Structure 1
Amino acid sequence: MTAAHRRVNPFVIPGREDAPRSVLCPWREPDHAGLYVEIDNYAPAFQQFKDQFASPQLLKEACRLALVGGESGCGKSALRNMCAHWLEEELGKVGLQGKIFDLAKEVDALNQGLDGAVIDIKARMGRVCSGLVKKLAAGDFIEGSARDDLLGPAAGAPHEVYAELAAAMADKDREDVVPILLLPASDMRAEVERYLQMPGSRIVFFAEAVMSTNELSRIGAGQTTDMPPATVSVGTLSPADVELFIATRTEQRKRDCDFPSLHKELVEYLAAWPNTTVAALQGHLTGVYDHARRTFTNYTNDTTITKDDMTDYTMNWINNMRARR
């Protein structure tokens, strides 16, 4: 085995071995763009998003809401990240500078109290707005004095702040900047639709929500906006999706890494699971390969992980969970 050939877990994102629950994020790590697999409606959803942003220069005139829907674990965050990455590049082609600001995890962490209660919509939207103003000031996109002026109304009246941001960036000679704001996940239609109605221009509000295609289609119904919401969705995996995900990911990694293959019977077993999500599938595959690395004496391309190995891993996981209680 050469130095380049490493014994790896093929279902952990390369370079993210210490963070196995990471999702693909090409706007932060461009190499991730080549790791997407066309499963769970990803390809048509991504194309649909591109069609809905066919004229990105219109963002000079108004704000825009983009919303990714689907069940928990279906890959909403990964799709959102690819869409944001693509939009950032497209804006550059029309003389604008897309700049992504991720407030999702930062605000969600602040939302949780000791009892797990989530703060109200108004407070959460205020935190998002305040966070964006601070990041714009820290990145030298607005003046420090503008930061102070905007932080006052940010907590209670974010619509006033978003209406003024384009002018504040222009005062700093940053009139070409388009903030692409990644919002905390929301299942509340009322919150999502408030962003749809935000005044101002040159801001894209990116949200993800556990919503069905029908629910997504009702966002903004009956409202008048300059530009409708851009909505896309992903879903659970078909048997063919499962097989394609496994085949693609292993092929990608075997170019420079060593690890056992999955036995055909195990692949068929995983493909037969009903309504499984990409997060659940990746979790099981990551787990069984970690188990194999600990227990196999010969963890190489010449060995195979079987259905019995999956059973051993599952029982070991169950026993460990019981021991922690």
Structure 2
Amino acid sequence: MTIQAPGALPINTFGIPTVRETVTGEPELIYISGIPLKPWYIPGHGRLWVPIDNTGHAFTVFCRHIADVDELANDGRLVLVDGVTGSGKTSLIHKCVDHLHARLAEALGRPVDPAPRSPEDHWRPRERPAPGICIVDLSDRAEKVAYDDTGELRALDAINRTIFRHVVSGVRSHGHETPDLDRLVTDAADPVDDDHRPAHRLSELYERLSEVLRDRRLFALIVLPYIPLGTPDAHLRFVRGHLNFCERRIVFFAETTEPDLMENMAPTLPWDQRQLVTHLSIGPLRGNDWESFVQARLDLPGLPAAHVIIAPEALARITPENENPHGTVRGLQNDLYALGEIARLDGRDVISDADVIALAHQRLDDERMRRRPPASGQPGQKGPVE
């Protein structure tokens, strides 16, 4: 696998290493921004995860709530993470998936990969999870799941059925082809107007899937997509529905920007069902979170010699005392990546004070353009009054 970016330019340390396929079919490591960390897929992503704001506490709560993995053989689970947009919900979910994957693999007597033999191995994707574990990641599939061919948002039942078909396909893609799974895909088809056969209830289909998992001694870890359903009530029904689908050997991971969703849902839950929910909340950046974040990015294993660092005076400017202009971890990640690109594309491996000032001016210009009323005849501008 190629780990040096094309050409002689330095690596952007503040990008997230991920793999793409080149035109020759070979995998190549690139550094980008705007994606979640997936340590269960790329082991090195675990080294990039930094317990800033209260994500460290949230992860500890998760580990404590699902300490006994043997319980998953008898009951399903729903892990619900809430937080503002950009606060790192998806990365926290994948961190939890990675931890649960390792715990289950150990309990099954099939430990995950040994320690990487070389620094580059940190960034090589795993071909598949450990035997006995299926990870179905739908976190980046919201558009395919939620919208029909015309771009219209599907009804909630249709969305849930599409998710179920993706889940079954994910289990099959892990090398588990059975006639029972084929029938589940067929039975999960959306009912049509001229089809008078009763639709199979999704709760029944998940029960049958759970039986297949039990017979084959499998566990399914399912990362649900975040879908903007329009109203808090619609999102509550989406999450509540998947709690109803929590059969044994099935663990759902869901995220929401609705801070009161769990509080509103809890009174409607029977006591035994409430025990199946692990609720985690994360917030915006605080204190010196930026310092921990920057240090983690400067300490990556397996990077080529030429990679971007940040000058002390630039670091002081981007992180003023008692203030965090970035708001969320996504904002900080994107700003650092943008600064790295400014330096890298200029052939430098040090982010300077001038780069920080240039980015600040660029952000101000972008904000002015966003706020400026469109010219006459442009989208959003009515024609002249006669």
Q: Does 1:204 align with 2:233?
A: no
Aligned equivalents of 2:252, 2:344: Cα separation in 1 = 42
State how 1:301-316 maps to structure 2 within 5 Å: 301=350, 304-314=353-363
Judging changes above 3 Å, is the alpha-carbon distance between structure 1 residues 185 and 303 closer, same or farther for their aligned structure 2 residues? closer
What is the Cα-based RMSD across aligned positions, in Å?
Answer: 3.2
**Aligned residue for 1:216?**
262
Mapping 1:240-279, distance limit 5 Å? 240-252=288-300, 256-262=305-311, 263-269=314-320, 272-273=323-324, 276-279=327-330
1:183 and 2:224 aligned = yes
Q: What is the letter of the counterpart of residue 357 of structure 2?
A: D
Other structure's SS at 1:207 match: strand
| AA of the residue aligned to 1:250 | L
Residue identity opposite 1:68 in structure 2 = V
1:288/1:313 contact within 8 Å kept: no
Deviation at 1:165, TM superposition (A): 1.4
Question: In the TM superposition, what whole-angstrom CA distance separates every residue of 1:173-209 from its partner, at most 9, and x where no partner exists?
Answer: x1x2110011111561111011112263110011111
- Hey, what does 2:13 align to over in structure 1? 10
1:302 Cα deviation after fit: 8.7
CA contact (8 A) 2:165 2:188 kept: yes
Write the deviation string for residues 117-154 of structure 1: whole angstroms up to 9, x where unpaired: 422211111001111122323433251x2133212332
Matched, 1:54 2:54: no
- Tell me how far apart the structure 2 counterparts of residues 242 and 18 of structure 1 sit (CA, whole Å): 20
Q: How does 1:47-196 map to 2 (within 5 A)?
A: 47-95=60-108, 97-113=132-148, 117-143=152-178, 145-155=179-189, 156=199, 157-171=201-215, 174=216, 176-186=217-227, 188-196=235-243
Letter in 2 for 1:137: R
Identity within the alignment, %? 24
Report deviation, 1:275: 7.1
Q: If you compute each CA radius of gyration, which structure gives the higher value, 1 or 2?
A: 2
Query: How far 1:31 moved relative to its partner?
Result: 1.2
Please say which of residues 110-119 and 184-193 is displaced more in the overlay: 110-119
Instruction: Tell me the number of residue pairs that the alignment of Structure 1 and Structure 2 aligns.
Output: 316
> Which of the pair is proportionally richer in helix?
1
Unaligned runs of 5+ in 1: none
| Secondary structure at the counterpart of residue 133 of structure 2 | strand
Contact 2:17 2:31 in 1 (8 A): no
Correspondences of 1:279-294 after superposition (within 5 Å)? 279-294=330-345
Q: Unaligned 5+ residue runs, structure 2?
A: 20-29, 110-131, 190-198, 373-378, 380-386
Cα deviation for residue 274 of structure 1 reads 5.4
Could you tell me which amino acid in structure 2 is paired with residue 220 of structure 1?
A
When normalised by structure 1's length, the TM-score is 0.84
> Displacement of 1:219 after TM fit?
3.4
Cα shift at 1:75: 0.3
State how far apart, in whole Å, the 1-side matches of 2:246 and 2:35 are: 34
